[in-house]
Structure formats: structure tokens, C-alpha cells
Amino acid sequence: MGLVLICVCSKTHSLKGLARGGAQIFSCIIPECLQRAVHGLLHYLFHTRNHTFIVLHLVLQGMVYTEYTWEVFGYCQELEFSLYYLLLPYLLLVVNLFFFTLTCVTNPGIITKANELLFLHVYEFDEVMFPKNVRCSTCDLRKPARSKHCSVCNWCVHRFDHHCVWVNNCIGAWNIRYFLIYLLTLTASAATVAIVSTTFLVHLVVMSDLYQETYIDDLGHLRVMDTVFLIQYLFLTFPRIVFMLGFVVVLSFLLGGYLLFVLYLAATNQTTNEWYRGDWAWCQRCPLVAWPPSAEPQVHRNIHSHGLRSNLQEIFLPAFPCHERKKQE
């Protein structure tokens, strides 16, 4: 990992030059009106609050469950699969939609004039990544430790993690617990649909002895049914099921990888913002890169991690301003 980061750091300036050169080439080829349209669309999708990805999320989820209900569920019932096994994806869907809604509508920990002083006492300043007495240039509020101004939502968020376009909200101290459960149930539901669909297709192949069948290839030779031909046969027979299976399998791996990353951050009491900034600070101290002369670099340490139990408790039982007010009184 260290070698990879060193290589990335050493190539930073050359990559920036290539990117600028590539942008200039594309600006000559693509008409200016099309460039403005694409830029405007990307700005709307990723730099303004909108419900596009929420709608896309629900449409994709609805398409997967419609196909599962329309074909997989019915075929599995005919093959006498356990009803509890078949209903598990629906249970996960209900739980997922509940926490999806909570993640969308819950205040992530917006910092205002009214609660600014209360948030300043929640976390200790490390004087490296989060120095004291710094004001937000946009909100003109004193920035509590671990906070960040979200350029999309245009407000400062307590214990800012990231802005998630899929929920059209920031992920902060007060909704990170809902986001974790949402992500966990989404991964589990995709994996469960994939497992049930795969089990159905394997059961079908075994019952019909398809793997023992033979076919004649293009050269007229008799061949035993191999895996590639079997998948092609299943795709022609059940195209929607195989396509859905491929989609949820890829989705399960992507979500699973991201879930592991988020659980690692939770276990070590880091946010995505802090992890990213910490890695970038490491790159700036890389000895293979010639950076402008500056003062002796300060090393960022994670001073907020106090053991697995305490870290998880902080996420699932976050401190609220009202609690802090009672303590001060």
C-alpha cells in the first residue's frame, strides 16, 4: 500500500499536466454548446441538491424486486423452496427502505448560530487537521473539530463524513448510524436476491440434467455441455433472470467492498473526510516529491479513537446539543 501511495505521489504533477492536455484536446473536438450542456448537467447532478439519484435508486430497486417477484419467486414456489427463504429479500427491503428514509430526512448535524458553541465542546481540536479558532469562510461560523462545510447543501455539518447523492443529504454525526444500517441492509438484500436466483438456476440445471446433455458445435463435433454454453442456454431461456442476477452480483461486490470500508472507518472512529485528508497529508510528506519549502510538517494522528466499543457507541449514540446543554447546567 505504501509503495502504491509513493508511486501516486511521484506522478501527481505529470498526471495533472496530462489531464490539462486532454481537456484542451477535447475542448477543440467537442462543440462549446455541448460542453456547456454537459457541464451544466454534471453540476446539477453532483453539485446541487436534487432528487434524481433518489428516484434512480428506487427505480432500480423496484425493477429488481419486480423481476424477483414476477419470475424467481413463482418458479421457486413451484420447486417447493422454503417460504421463509423466499420472503427474506422482502423483509430486508422493508428494513432498508425504512433506514433509507431516515437517512434522507434526518438532520445530519447542521451547525447554526444557536448550537455553534455547543458543538465546539464535543470534540477535541488536534491543531493539525482541525485547528482552533477557525471560521468557515461561507457560513462565518466558528468551525468545531471534525466539521466541514458541504458545498452541495451549503451548510457546515458536525462530524462531516461525506455528501451522498443517493440520499440527497449529508452524512454526519446524527444520521451516520442510519446510513450504516441502510448500507448493510442494501448489501444484504442484493446478496440475498443473488443467492436465491443462483440457487434456482442451479437447482433447475441439476433437476433437468442439463449438465449431462450434448450438443453439436459449428464444426459438426459432438460436445459435452460446458459452463459457457450452459450460461448461454440459461440466458436464452431466462434472459431477465440471468440479466438481473448479473446486476445484483456486481452490485453485491461493489456494496460489500464499500461496506467493509465504512465499517473500518466506524471501528477506528474516522470519517471519510478525515481518511481522505489524512492520506493526502501523507502524500504531501512523501520524500520522492519536490514540494514547495514550508515549515516542519505536522503529523496527523487519530486522537478520537478510544477502542471499538467506545467508537461504535459514539456512532449509534451520538451527542446532541440538548445533552450538552444539560451537562453544562
Distances (CA, A) of 35 to 21, 23, 28, 29, 178: 16, 11, 10, 10, 38
- Nearest Cα neighbor of 249 from 229, 263, 266, 231 is 231
The reported pTM is: 0.83
* Separation CA 159–CA 144 (nearest Å): 9
Rounded-to-integer distance, Cα 210 and Cα 315, Å: 51
Residue-averaged pLDDT of the chain? 84
- Say whether 153 is catalytic: no
Is 11's pLDDT higher than 50?
A: no
Structural element, H or E, at residue 149? strand 148-150
The number of beta carbons lying within 10 Å of the beta carbon of residue 274 is 23
- When pLDDT is averaged across residues 112-140 and rounded to a whole number, the result is 92
**Residue 233 in grid coordinates:** 442456454
Cα angle for residues 36, 22, 30 (degrees, 5° grid): 35
Query: Quick one: pLDDT band at residue 199, thresholds 50, 70, 90?
Result: very high
Question: Residue 126 pLDDT more than 80?
Answer: yes
pLDDT at residue 70 is higher than 70: yes
Catalytic residue among 9, 104, 156, 164: 164
pLDDT of residue 51: 95
What value does the mean pLDDT take over residues 174-180? Answer: 97
Rounded Cα gap, residues 45 and 13, in angstroms: 29
Q: Would the pLDDT of 18 be above 50? A: no
Backbone angles phi, psi at 104, to 5 degrees: -70, -40
Cβ atoms < 10 Å from Cβ of 15? 10
For 78-101, what is the mean pLDDT?
96
Nearest to 51 by CA among 169, 157, 151, 160: 169
Q: What's the confidence (pLDDT) of residue 27? A: 64
Which pLDDT does position 299 carry in this prediction?
64
Q: State the first-to-last Cα distance of the chain, in angstroms, to the nearest integer.
A: 48
